[in-house]
């Protein structure tokens, strides 16, 4: 006789079994219906009071009846804090992504003096969503087709070309453009199981084009090229932005913009890099065959020292180096910075998202595009080490409030970005400190004590 497969029933089935038992159904019949042993039915009957109490509590807090066990979170206070925050944001229509939820969990854990080993991992997120019946809505996407045969042929051709010319990979570059809806919030959000849809604001269609360029070894990343619609954006007035800006009426790339970038940014930046590393050699730039790119004959310069080679049609998804997760990562990091900026908007504002759209400008887009958190932190740590020797213990001074700190930092930022000596990394450091002050200011504005939200539900 074959061994019966172990079946773990969800709580809603257990509730049905308890009700059926009360109505006089036999345990053997119920065991046959649900594909379990009679001992399982007996256990459910014995624990009926605990099961019903736990299920009722789940319904009150909008939890998932598809759960199969009654195990609670190891840290109920943190669990209740994150879930309360999640419900508040969803009630306002704010989209919540998994990474954003994890980051808020880390933030709450720090404020509550929680375990330093807590990482808000993917496993924690999956269990949290399962416990509360949270799922994702509005999944969208599309696939790209690629000419595999043409791609394979080009790979062999390029390898032969590189070997023949003896190119140094430090001087083999690739550039590619991508569209960026720079104000668009996520089109999908985590939602409780009782939400049939995730209503939100009208999708922002503010779009720019970003061109990314770097060498094959990853040792040289050129300044980003940002293409917007406005010739002279008001937010750029008297401000030193940390990238190259161009304009076109539809914010698209065209031949003139590319040629200007090639002559005034690409060639000078590569020559500067060669001087810095103390090496010389021919330079190769790989491009896709978009009609907005000038011909190879137009771009080849300095007696072949700067050469351009085009990829075949329909091979971007498998051959374009920048399309192998680099541009995707750039957009993900940008979206992360955008959502962090949304978190710094005052919770006391009724129309938080609309206020966010109004206050975010193209200058903010520039800052959010250029550096990752790790690069900013690394540079901050380096500066901190340099200043350690000069640090001395002095008299304790009165600590400014979070609101006062934010106002002062905001003034400092507006002043420093207009100075000729300002540096992109320094600007970003100052911006992140200002944003931190904004978040702490918002937390202090909440009149209700945060601990009042964390009372155990059962």
Average the pLDDT over 62-69 and give the result.
51
Task: List pLDDT tens digits, range 282-307.
Answer: 999 999 988 889 999 899 988 889 99
- CA torsion angle 101 106 108 114 (round to 10): 140
Query: Are 170 and 45 found together in one domain?
Result: no
Residue 307 is assigned to a structural domain of this protein: yes
Least confident of 128-132, 161-165, 344-348, 446-450: 446-450
Residue 230 is assigned to a structural domain of this protein: yes
Name the one residue in this structure whose structure tokens are 């930046």: 269
Average the pLDDT over 39-49 and give the result.
82
Is 0.95 surpassed by the pTM of this model? no
Query: Are 51 and 153 found together in one domain?
Result: no
In the three-class reduction of DSSP (H, G, I as helix; E, B as strand; rest coil), residue 182 is classed as: coil
Residue 205 is assigned to a structural domain of this protein: yes
Q: Which of 160, 44, 137 is nearest to 90 (CA)?
A: 137
Task: List pLDDT tens digits, range 10-21.
Answer: 777 888 888 888
pLDDT at 323: 86
Residue 258 is assigned to a structural domain of this protein: yes
Residue 49 lies in domain: 11-60
**Domain boundary pick from 273, 298, 329:** 329
Query: Are 301 and 180 found together in one domain?
Result: yes
Q: Which of 45, 94, 7 is nearest to 338 (CA)?
A: 94
Residue 338 is assigned to a structural domain of this protein: no
Q: Which of 104, 190, 177 is nearest to 331 (CA)?
A: 177
Residue 125 is assigned to a structural domain of this protein: no
**Domain boundary pick from 279, 296, 329:** 329
Chain centroid to CA 267: 32
Query: Are 190 and 311 found together in one domain?
Result: yes
Query: Are 162 and 44 found together in one domain?
Result: no
d(C-alpha 173, C-alpha 220), whole Å: 9
Query: Are 166 and 271 found together in one domain?
Result: yes
Q: Which of 443, 457, 455 is nearest to 77 (CA)?
A: 455
- CATH number for 322: 3.30.420
- C-beta neighbour count of 30 within 10 angstroms: 20
Residue 137 is assigned to a structural domain of this protein: no
Residues 6+ away with beta carbon under 8 Å from 51: 11, 14, 15, 18, 44, 70
- Mean pLDDT score of the chain, rounded to an integer? 79
Residues 6+ away with beta carbon under 8 Å from 24: none
Query: Are 297 and 152 found together in one domain?
Result: yes
Q: Is the pLDDT of residue 141 over 50?
A: no
Query: Are 152 and 52 found together in one domain?
Result: no
- CATH number for 20: 1.10.10
d(C-alpha 345, C-alpha 335), whole Å: 16
Packing angle, helices 424-445 and 362-370, rounded to 10: 110
Here the tokens at position 237 are: 């007035």
Residue 238 is assigned to a structural domain of this protein: yes
pLDDT at 439: 80
Using pLDDT thresholds of 50, 70 and 90, give the confidence band for residue 271: very high
**Domain boundary pick from 329, 356, 378:** 329
Average the pLDDT over 225-237 and give the result.
92
Could you give the number of structural domains in the chain?
2
């Amino acid at each position: 006789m074959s061994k019966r497969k172990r079946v773990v029933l969800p709580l809603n089935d257990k509730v049905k079994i308890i009700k059926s038992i009360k109505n006089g159904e036999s345990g053997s019949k119920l065991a046959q219906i649900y594909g379990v042993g009679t001992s399982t039915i007996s256990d459910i009957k014995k624990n009926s009071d605990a099961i019903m109490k736990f299920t009722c509590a789940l319904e009150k807090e909008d939890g998932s009846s598809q759960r199969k066990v009654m195990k609670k979170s190891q840290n109920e206070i943190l669990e209740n804090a994150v879930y309360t925050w999640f419900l508040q944001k969803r009630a306002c229509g704010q989209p919540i992504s998994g990474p954003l939820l994890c980051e808020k969990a880390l933030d709450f854990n720090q404020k509550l003096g929680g375990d330093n080993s807590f990482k808000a991992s993917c496993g924690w997120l999956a269990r949290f969503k399962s416990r509360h019946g949270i799922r994702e809505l509005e999944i969208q996407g599309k696939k790209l087709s690629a000419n595999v045969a043409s791609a394979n042929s080009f790979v062999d051709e390029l390898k032969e070309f590189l070997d023949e010319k003896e190119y140094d990979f430090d001087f083999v570059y690739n550039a590619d453009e991508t569209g960026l809806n720079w104000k668009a919030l996520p089109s999908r959000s985590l939602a409780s199981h009782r939400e049939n849809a995730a209503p939100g604001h009208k999708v922002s269609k503010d779009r720019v084009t970003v061109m990314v360029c770097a060498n094959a070894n990853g040792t040289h990343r050129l300044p980003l090229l940002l293409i917007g619609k406005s010739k002279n954006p008001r937010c750029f007035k008297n401000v030193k932005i940390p990238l190259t800006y161009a304009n076109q009426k539809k914010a698209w790339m065209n031949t003139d913009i590319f040629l200007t970038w090639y002559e005034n940014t690409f060639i000078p930046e590569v020559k500067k890099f060669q001087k810095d590393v103390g090496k010389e050699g021919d330079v190769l730039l790989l491009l896709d065959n978009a009609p907005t790119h000038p011909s190879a004959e137009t771009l080849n310069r300095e007696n072949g020292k700067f050469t351009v080679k085009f990829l075949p049609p329909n091979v971007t998804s498998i051959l374009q180096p920048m399309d192998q997760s680099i541009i995707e990562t750039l957009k993900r990091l940008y979206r992360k910075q955008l959502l962090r900026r949304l978190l710094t908007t005052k919770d006391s504002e009724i129309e938080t998202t609309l206020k966010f759209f109004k206050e975010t400008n193209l200058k903010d887009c520039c800052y959010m595009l250029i550096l990752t958190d790790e690069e900013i932190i690394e540079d901050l740590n380096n500066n901190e080490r340099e200043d350690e020797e000069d640090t001395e213990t002095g008299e304790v001074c009165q600590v400014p409030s979070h609101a006062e700190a934010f106002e002062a930092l905001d003034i400092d930022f507006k002043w420093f970005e207009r100075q000729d000596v300002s540096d992109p990394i320094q600007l970003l450091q100052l911006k992140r400190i200002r944003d931190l002050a904004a978040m702490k200011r918002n937390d202090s504005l909440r009149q209700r004590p945060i601990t009042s939200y964390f009372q155990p539900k059962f």
